[in-house]
Amino acid sequence: MSRRKQIYEGKAKILYEGPEPGTIVQYFKDDATAFNAQKKATLDGKGVLNNRISEFVMIRLAEIGIPTHFIKRLNMREQLIKAVEIVPLEVICRNVAAGTMSKRLGIEEGEKLPRSIVEFCLKRDDLGDPLIAEEHIHAFGWATQSELDEMIAMTLRINDYLQGMFSGIGINLIDFKIEFGRLPITEGANAGGYQIILADEISPDSCRLWDRETNKKLDKDRFRRDLGDVTEAYTEVATRLGILKEANNKITPTLSVVSNED
Ligand code: C5P
């Protein structure tokens, strides 16, 4: 079998040409990076966990009517997704102050925000993904007004749903980052146009997840802040979501994932 063509390699994922036109294979690496790749490590099993968690979340969101790029999981580290043109924005939604918002505005981490706040960053690694205003998006044409309206509306719906989903397993959703893509419309009245759909991933790499009782961080901040037990925390999230099974009351991430493999 010939080797697949690699389309793109990011910090935590690789994209390969899919088996059919309009499809892509998204491969989840074990690599972790932070602070614009100044800090790097390989975390055994992280890719497997994020593949499963993102699959789970994307399926739940599709069930409530959010269009996503997810087609199906292929194996432990890969999922088949729809090919889209990525909107060059990182859309961040925050419920509780943390991270760069706390630093920028001097709000103590953990302080509940008066309401959920949506922010935009420009996807530009070389600039450190700077925070931008809607004005920049309009002026530079990074998205149209209607695309922006759709992205904001979807982000708030996703936030509502995920807050409830995580709350049900004793986790507070502090904030998260999502990305959107433009999917070409090939049929019907809007043929030739684009539909905005959810792309990339939703996992503990892209969310802040705190245990409701203890405020223990169950997300990438464990890596960013050298708190240790990173994959254990991701495993905890997957287990609470019911994705992984506990063996002998002990969570065995790689083994249980392997044994779940189809
Ligand atoms: O660092 P900051 O506080 O701005 O991050 C807000 C949220 O967006 C966090 O959940 C973080 O994990 C996520 N994020 C991300 N990728 C980035 C920047 C932030 O997933 N490049």
Q: What is the pTM of this model?
A: 0.93
Residue nearest to atom 16 of ligand 1 (CA): 206
Query: pLDDT per residue over 11-64, tens digit each?
Result: 999 999 999 999 999 999 999 999 988 999 999 999 999 999 999 999 999 999
Fold adopted by 87-211: D-amino Acid Aminotransferase; Chain A, domain 1 (3.30.470)
Ligand 1 atom, smallest distance to 174 CA:
10
CB within 8 Å of 58: residues ≥ 6 apart: 68, 69, 70, 198, 202
Write the CB contacts of 183 (distance below 8 Å, at least 6 apart in sequence): 67, 69, 82, 84, 194, 195, 196, 197
Find the 222 Cα to ligand 1 centroid distance in Å: 13
Q: Using only the alpha carbons of the chain, give its radius of gyration.
A: 18
Instruction: Find out whether 43 and 63 touch, Cβ atoms under 8 Å.
Output: no
Q: Does domain 6-84+232-253 have CATH number 1.20.120.1200?
A: no
Sequence ranges of the domains in the chain? 6-84+232-253, 87-211
Place of tokens 């999981």: 73
pLDDT tens for residues 166-196?
A: 999 999 999 999 999 999 999 999 999 999 9
Separation of 176 CA from ligand 1 center, angstroms?
6
Residues 6+ apart with CB under 8 A from 150: 196
DSSP state of 217: B
